[in-house]
Structure 1
């Protein structure tokens, strides 16, 4: 009874306190001007109705109450800054914002719930210096009234849905240095002062401007020559628009221009020689236009780092001598893809002092590729796909004497199609950009669980994660060395740019670049983690907000050129404190002291609720970190990124972009916020795994990485959802390309290339993964093809990894797999071994040969091929082959390929080769390393030695090294010669 009476007293005091606060006059303690309070309250009502959970702590007086995101002048009477970057605001930007007439900074970026037109009342903010409305969802035109903001220095509206023409009144903003309207839907011509209807106002009046970022819109008309007279302009980024006409000759008027990006427009005519006189230029990109005539001499541009002229209509030309005359000492990347380049490639180009990437794909370069001279130590990539190169001379020799790894891509050149040329180059496979490998620290022993390890300090914490986009990088690919430079720059520049409002101090070991990749429009996307100082679990809300604000406002310059911050991967939340007037604090304290007792009563409930929330946010929240517990241990994920269900819904347009259906569930195509295409496999209810099983699969998939395995990007796990996010393979499955897309049949050489690459992926799973992985469902539908038809094995985690007593086996209570591909031995024993995968792979080999499914017409096609070969040899097999390749496969190739396929599909596993052996034999077939020592070749078919159509006396003869051989003459009794990997020659004697 006493306790009950005490609680009544406590409740009464609390009610009294609240009543007193409620009856206080709304403006009793106000210091802020009434117009500001009215405007802010109107915005709060709008944004709170759009997001009922929004809590901005806007209580009391704005200037005395330390409102979230609000800064006032020193007298605390007027609001001068409104900064709510990334606060999950939803609704419109009301005209009431025009009442904040003393505002100097308006920052509402990264609020994708902000929609509707921009109010013309923004033009009333005559003191505004920074207007940042980036990466929201605003629509409609850019208000002409913005031209009134003559104090403005920063204007960023990029990443919205704005439409219409750029208003000419923008030309009045003579103090703006940064103008970014990229990634919108602006159209029409750019306004300049010389237009008759412009009244002398246009973009060429913006004399302070340094940055014009207008890319990814629908701007049209000619590029006005007037803007090249702007005295401070350094970045002119106009790519991915609809500009037409010529590159203006007025480019020669530029005095400070560093970057020109006019790529992917509709520019025509000859390039003006005046362009080559702007010696301040570091990056020139004119790719994807219709430029014609001759390429001018760019050698006067002594600061040039990147030149991209690809995909234009130039007159045929030999490799330019001006590239080699010694003036381009800083040139890092040279792109001349599909530009009518003919003749031989001079080897001096490989010795350019700073050259990193040389992309000359899809030209008519012929002769031999000559690597007999010096090679620059900076060279990493040479792309020569789809040319006419027929030979290779020498090996890369470094002038510095240091070792290097030059990635040379020669796909679809005669040198790669000639099976008699040895040794075959690794670059004959289809080119694929290597993924960025972040720096690691092997000395770190911590297992961080739900937190993230900082490899610099070996400390676990919750970092701020940001996406940064380099909009005009000089390099083609981002390296570990680049990351170290940028990490130091970011830490130092963020610290030096901090102010009393945006106060933050970072050390280099707090910044870590976790991921990087080159986008399709030649930008570099970076995932950056910013860790707290050692001893803290996370950055404060103020620090996080300050870092984003400093980066967003471009308050420093980095050596990698202009950048953008497309999104914040965090929401700032409502962590700012609330400071009320002294009288209000007294009443709150009276109630708070007694209310503390009530809080104790809710403590147990709060703890229970918190655990529930944590489990909802992190499915592994209750799992032990690095040790076993009743729930097991947390998964150790090396690459996979967790996605929220809302992220995946947005990426797939609310699950509307279906790629296909399978037994596991539905596969969707998705586009992540950074522009990366992915395939998202969403499990159906019948396929949902338990948390233990899902954890095991994630661990397995996240640590397996190989060129011929589909990469796992991330995952989503909720109580009713399991999703796996993979890299997107644009050319679909091998199955689709064999007999579902018959309009473009695959050539024999392409099929062989696909088969070999799939074998390499499987061999990695069997013999190099630790523990070994048995796929369990090899079929043509699980061999995916990227944009260059590079084959990658998918779904390799579904079979799981098992090694029992040194044997690679899996035991199964029920038979799982796909009809036509099932190993008969597995069907009988329920024991799935690595040889079961070999059997299924052999079926795929037959499938590639016939162009039909394994059970086409109700028949076992593999058995049908075996019977035909046993009865009539190759003559019996030819009628069963895909008609599109039936007459194109040479007999020796067909024979060796067929023998290998039949060995793979032997009835019992002991008669089948390993996948590593399969890879070696296939590489032997295409002219690569055979791995066969001198001796006879014994072929097993149907479990016994069989006399083949060609004699089994083929052997490696110890002869001198030769890169030439006789041409085979099928059916005329001539020997077939193949140069051996050790300098010998394999001879197959026809019977």
Structure 2
């Protein structure tokens, strides 16, 4: 412990520890490990947001498995403790909420990491925990119950040097017992191979873009392990980098060099920033041919990391649809995580509903946008044999192009659907955005495509009522839009909370069919919700029932003069583009006119 005065040991009776089903067991670590922990102490330092730090000297020529044990024995209720976990200065888990992962308190949880020798500096393994900005508590805190550091055997199957178990030395000075002729032939073969590789290297170097320099990629940093998948990547291994995906024929889009993206954004000029979100900053870039791009640059300390980066690339490389935002390419040079998307001129749907000075959308425009979004989600769910679950459907992840065509974006949290017809769900930790989360998925941690349907139901009411999914500033019964809208609908007074801008412009038949679709999406149980195909049918029917825009309405009853021409495209001042720091969906004011990021609630 490098700062012992900042730590305080806490403990509870071991019989209070309850092991979960399918998780940690007494064989993972006994009760007394999880019944004790170090938490942050009031150390009298000026900045209370310090990290608890443990350091262990290790042999830097080996790789190590790090197992961290957690059990929330300090909180008085759920969702009170959020903290970050770091391994050797790199973020391993952001905004860890143990009560959400375990659905309770006093329940063990552990996480494994592999750290390779190239990531170990000064011969030390450093474990840190510290408070997260997500926490709403006035008393920042972080805990750690146990640490295991396991040395990994090397290529000789040894934990000490390059001697194998049979005594054979496989180091650089080893000499196999072969005849002189074989040795000479081997040397000649090596020489010929070396010359061929040298010539190939010269040719490839001549063909490289100007200014190109190979660097260690972000994927070689530090990867968390899941029980079903173990990744071990070394910065010395070419096969571990994303550029190798391109050469393997997976068609993951264009690989941009860092120099290209620097030129496109004028060295990532702050004036080019058009949005800030959980992954990092988003820049407006322009290539030499005039093509505009949305360039999302990852922040290593953000709430989203290498997993989301890989998922976004792998998912979007397989998807091509009119109503899905296209991934053009990526860059992972110099430990960067950068994603490059098509330019979406009118930005997120949310900005056109509330919280900005942009002209509002007409009811017909809103219907068409909802229909386009539903088509994109329907394609995700049915476009492949396994299907894809978006897992973060919300109005900031529905973007509009220059023709107000809706496209679903941000696939960093997406998951492949059940692998076979015998499976009804995917068991996974809860991720998504507050206000849009399917309550059944939250309770059972069983993800299905109906979880997207529930989130889309919230979006439908958000479009109709033009207010956030969560608004803590409102009275308690009005905070959650989905619950409030359903309550008002049951009372028969839903018209009281409809966006005043469109009141009087909606035909009763269209409104009835639209609300019927939203209501079915918000059914408590997934089996009672419609598929996205059914939702799409209801919305298209609602558009037909709307018919042509009414011409006999009193303008005073429909809209204020300043937004009278609702069907005209929004105008924006390129010199006054607004930048938003999205950290939560409970109280946003204004979004980017071009791009939006997602908030990952855990």
TM-score when normalising by structure 1: 0.31
* Bigger Rg, which one: 1
TM-score when normalising by structure 2: 0.49
Q: Which has the higher contact order (CA 8 A, sep 6+)?
A: 2
